[in-house]
Structure 1
């Protein structure tokens, strides 16, 4: 590597996706002769001085790679030719250390770990052939070699940033923060913060009312005070690289220190205010602020509704990232977004705003008019920045309470009034996509609501569908008199195979509901289903009424609710069979809830088995059999798949084989297109029980399940 720091070099600067244009502009300001925007990065031409300046000052880059060679790399032979074209002795001592970062695959290299080892060996062989020794591998190397393969081409370079450039030094590298520092800097730039800094305003304020870790405020202060991020790191550039020019680096570093001193001398022009309701967050943000000797800032810890008025600077930017989680429904978020919108709208006319949120966040709840939106990727999360040139709320706020939905809910409740008043159950359906625009099913479980969202048709705009869902979630508490915090939302999808038994969360939150004298544990948040199929309520009660003195078999028993009804009805024996250990334990809990746990005579058995195999081998007889199989199953404990339409004849025949001569098989399933084969009707006495099995709260959906009573002729 020539010592001439003015020689043109090829660089690649990596960055988060979607901020490449901002990085290109930044590198141009630092002296890049030409730039080319790529995927998650920018290529640039510039001398070593430019590269050092970019590593010292860049607020947007993640890594800086000096490109050494580019050419063909479709196999090992072509890649070796490219590696051998580089004189590695210009970059690394024979006794030095190196590390290889390898990306992509080719015809011969099908594993990146192998690729990194192979490249290291090729470089080592070059040293060994000339010096008899080779560099060793280290996690703290003198040189990091980067190899990229893509569509038969290869590029080889060396990474000259000693640590990731997004790290500024004010936060421990192991500390988790909602966003990286360079992403926060990009958001601030898109929000217009740099433009405000060069404006004629005598004083400029940066405010974050939900500051969390304080990243926006710290990055904004570094920009305002002209502090290079590289000054905050203990080490920025790879000084053990043989091409390193300490004189050039020292000059640039001294210049950056002078600019920092000048920026700090002008600190009185700026005001910084961070607030959060979480005292730990405020404490951590203040500690990071102080750790890099920034001027005094204003820190408060309070709820948005209790926020004091800001000091009135001549101009200001309110920027924040309001909370959002897929596990938190819009009802719980509304107070935060509403208060945030009101507080932002109270700012002076010279203030601007910006909100950084995940794509699904209910920004409309702020009732603010946004000016522009920008796309970002925060780690793996699609996010957007909304900017507000004027912090003005709508004179007529969006009507978030949907009158048509509220009216339909009230109509449904009037129809169910006598049913509810009878008190037979406190778990029932109150709404099931009665209005197509509100594509949800709503079930009440005691004082909770379980809301399932149907996937909207492809013809429906996603934003419109999301807004409708948010309106529904805001309407339900008022129309049904439910605490907004007691609403659980799940997206409803057709489930097949193993996914039917997979947990959906970690809340482990259960509650107790009642049904015809029985008590059941339901879980609204952790599983695809709640543990209680509400539409089978009449058939469970039928079992309770017809089980006295009988031997009952519950196949695919799920959480054993039908078994509990049979036991309460006085069955002499109840066998519950299912493949899931989780659901069998749940079934045992339901028995215990109903005082049925003490069973010295083994009247109640819980059998974990493949139902199809167990039934085929069964040599006992039963008076009542409840058979409600899944539509489809390919559980890992089953060797073959099960399809209810294809396999129901064989399944019913096996069940009828163990049914006593005077017994009854209750056969049901929820496959909407299911048709009972004529062979079954010709062989057995079949009573269509679909109408009688449909509860009042499901009458609007007669295809929710099919049900037949089957007996021997």
Structure 2
């Protein structure tokens, strides 16, 4: 039996979790999300099926080789070692896409040229002929990824981006890509709405992307139904019979689905030219008979008479960045809210926008918010359940218990006490409550317009029922005090299990918020992990790194999501190196660096065990930041215990420290003791008190920190 193929499907950022689930439904083995894509395994039939049926993927890549590519010569040699005759005919055509960089290969054009040279030279040496380059529709397209001094060469089975379905004839202003439109429909629960007999209305339909994707989704039409070009068709490993069988099945399903579909799709726009493009698009998509298109302004929108059942209103209105300014668009968004309440009060609605202020102008509370990227623009999909809102009737609010009232008073007092300083320092993320009242054992953190509440172990004198009641009171009081709805409150609750209390299973939303600190932007995830991606108690340490970093070679060990590296880069570090064993955190760190414009070979990310990296690395650093976990038992590295192993770790750091250099060492193990005798070669100065932020004053032992220098 042949081993399964290792594959990678790319997608826009924000769609990774949806794509993972879609691939699993298609039969993928071990789908695992990464930044802007999903790794998975399967046979050739699965790879073909993903090309035809994935509504979310951008490309399907089959890795051919991975090798060192620190410079152009290594890149050439690695490419030359691949047997291209197994993939490309000697008189065929090919193209190369290159992304990323290494120290010696910093430009994609140069990378493409070296790969082309290696391929052409191989054919000339073996056969005396050479294949041609065709950047538009080559027989075979190769994809080169350069990252962390390594290169991965893949065969692009899709050939052209899969969002190009083959039906689009015209683009409205700020059109959505088809795979993003499909993701929005999935997040809006369109398949369930359709199954229940509901219609779909897009009141600002533009060129009709959402409408076409909704029809194809409802009718079981594959996204590849209208495509006539794939990169796999010119590949020498292509199985034509297998491919044709899958296409025959696809065509049969499309015919069956469309034959039973009624006219339940309605699109409106006041721009006659754009609406004409939509008409051409639905015709070429083969769905013109199912879509009603009408020229109409939003002010005249009414619920279609053909829709007796509750349906879905979904739209991609102007955001402000592209088609108009915020002040001009506020009335449009207010009108959307009014129409939803007047005409669609038992429907679901989903609106995508990149501007939180415009979203609030709708005047309705979203039951769900999902982060997406429309190109490079970060957006949110706001989901509204109008039926639930309409059904909600005022109910008698149960008065707070004496204890809950005390908690409310404490929160109000803390907010008043911190308000001026928070405003002066422009802080969006901070701790507002840290078990100030022992009976209400939790930490409450603010992340912009969200709350993150983490339960502590209740005192032994509190029975479990009382602890649960007080937990519910914490959530209620915090939400009411800040005016934040429940859907924007992330909870980390403990449960009793073998071995003591533990935190319950985290969510898998894949939702990231962008928050600011010190004029820099960071992605946080409040739901999916125990930690959010930004250690709030390290805020002074990050600021200290920025002050010290100018002109320095900076090393960040156990870098987590790279926040400290971002501050070092912003402080003017000559270069940064961020080391962590977790690919998830390194991808997150890459996004944080990129979010602030710090890209390229000056900012290197390394997947490695910290001690192993220090033993192998030969570079010297002027500033080293070390914030290890208390314990780690990763399968990919030796067990780590900060008390047991800190001497070895800091000794290795000292060996990599340039003359006059500084180590900033921090950890949060409360019983930690720094072994000054074993580290006698270092000057040590504890700076813990100066690194505890004002909003953590109640918990001064949350971490300890030292400045370490090599003794003269």
TM-score (norm 2): 0.53
* Greater mean deviation of Cα atoms: 126-135 or 328-337: 328-337
* Greater mean deviation of Cα atoms: 230-239 or 379-388: 230-239
**Within 2, Cα distance between the matches of 1:456 and 1:180?**
41
Deviations 1:175-216 (A, max 9, x none): 76422111111111111112334x4x2x22011111122211
**Within 2, Cα distance between the matches of 1:107 and 1:308?**
59
Aligned partner (choices 166, 169, 194) of residue 169 of structure 1: 166
Aligned 1:2-401 pairs, distance under 5 A = 8-139=4-135, 140-172=137-169, 177-197=174-194, 199=195, 201=196, 203-268=197-262, 271-294=264-287, 295-311=289-305, 312-326=307-321, 328-347=324-343, 350-390=346-386, 392=389
**Within 1, Cα distance between the matches of 2:26 and 2:224?**
14
**Within 2, Cα distance between the matches of 1:282 and 1:157?**
40
Deviations 1:444-482 (A, max 9, x none): xxxxxxxxxxx9961368978xxxxxxxxxxxxxxxxxx
Deviations 1:560-616 (A, max 9, x none): xxxxxxxxxxxxxxxxxxxxxxxxxxxxxxxxxxxxxxxxxxxxxxxxxxxxxxxxx
User: 1:348, CA displacement in angstroms?
Assistant: 5.4
Deviations 1:122-148 (A, max 9, x none): 122222222122222222322112111
**Within 2, Cα distance between the matches of 1:318 and 1:93?**
50
User: 1:220, CA displacement in angstroms?
Assistant: 0.7
User: Does the C-alpha gap of structure 1 residues 106 and 323 become closer, same or farther in structure 2, counting only changes over 3 Å?
Assistant: closer
**Within 2, Cα distance between the matches of 1:379 and 1:456?**
34
| Alignment size in residue pairs | 402
User: Does the C-alpha gap of structure 1 residues 109 and 335 become closer, same or farther in structure 2, counting only changes over 3 Å?
Assistant: closer
Is residue 359–residue 382 contact of structure 1 (8 Å, CA) maintained in 2?
Answer: no
Is residue 172–residue 206 contact of structure 2 (8 Å, CA) maintained in 1?
Answer: no
Is residue 93–residue 135 contact of structure 1 (8 Å, CA) maintained in 2?
Answer: yes
Tell me the equivalent position of 1:595. none
**Within 2, Cα distance between the matches of 1:177 and 1:228?**
25
**Within 2, Cα distance between the matches of 1:457 and 1:212?**
43
**Within 2, Cα distance between the matches of 1:17 and 1:46?**
23
**Within 2, Cα distance between the matches of 1:17 and 1:229?**
20
Q: Unpaired runs of 5+ in structure 1? A: 397-436, 438-454, 465-713
Tell me the equivalent position of 1:684. none
Tell me the equivalent position of 1:404. none
Is residue 72–residue 114 contact of structure 2 (8 Å, CA) maintained in 1?
Answer: no
**Within 1, Cα distance between the matches of 2:98 and 2:333?**
44
User: Does the C-alpha gap of structure 1 residues 173 and 336 become closer, same or farther in structure 2, counting only changes over 3 Å?
Assistant: closer
**Within 2, Cα distance between the matches of 1:334 and 1:246?**
54
Deviations 1:644-703 (A, max 9, x none): xxxxxxxxxxxxxxxxxxxxxxxxxxxxxxxxxxxxxxxxxxxxxxxxxxxxxxxxxxxx
Is residue 353–residue 388 contact of structure 1 (8 Å, CA) maintained in 2?
Answer: yes
User: 1:152, CA displacement in angstroms?
Assistant: 1.7
Q: Secondary structure at the match of 1:24?
A: helix
User: Does the C-alpha gap of structure 1 residues 261 and 121 become closer, same or farther in structure 2, counting only changes over 3 Å?
Assistant: same
**Within 2, Cα distance between the matches of 1:277 and 1:175?**
12
Aligned 1:419-498 pairs, distance under 5 A = 458-459=426-427
Is residue 227–residue 263 contact of structure 1 (8 Å, CA) maintained in 2?
Answer: yes
Q: Secondary structure at the match of 1:229?
A: coil
User: Does the C-alpha gap of structure 1 residues 205 and 63 become closer, same or farther in structure 2, counting only changes over 3 Å?
Assistant: same
Aligned 1:568-587 pairs, distance under 5 A = none
**Within 1, Cα distance between the matches of 2:242 and 2:82?**
24
Is residue 320–residue 355 contact of structure 2 (8 Å, CA) maintained in 1?
Answer: no
User: 1:103, CA displacement in angstroms?
Assistant: 2.1
Is residue 318–residue 354 contact of structure 1 (8 Å, CA) maintained in 2?
Answer: yes
**Within 1, Cα distance between the matches of 2:285 and 2:161?**
18
User: 1:306, CA displacement in angstroms?
Assistant: 1.6
User: 1:102, CA displacement in angstroms?
Assistant: 1.9
**Within 1, Cα distance between the matches of 2:243 and 2:45?**
8
Highest Rg: 1 or 2? 1
User: 1:174, CA displacement in angstroms?
Assistant: 7.5
TM-score (norm 1): 0.53
User: Does the C-alpha gap of structure 1 residues 107 and 192 become closer, same or farther in structure 2, counting only changes over 3 Å?
Assistant: same
Q: Secondary structure at the match of 1:344?
A: helix
**Within 1, Cα distance between the matches of 2:360 and 2:171?**
35
Tell me the equivalent position of 2:665. none
Aligned 1:606-617 pairs, distance under 5 A = none
User: 1:15, CA displacement in angstroms?
Assistant: 0.8
**Within 1, Cα distance between the matches of 2:73 and 2:385?**
57
Q: Secondary structure at the match of 1:223?
A: helix
User: Does the C-alpha gap of structure 1 residues 265 and 123 become closer, same or farther in structure 2, counting only changes over 3 Å?
Assistant: same
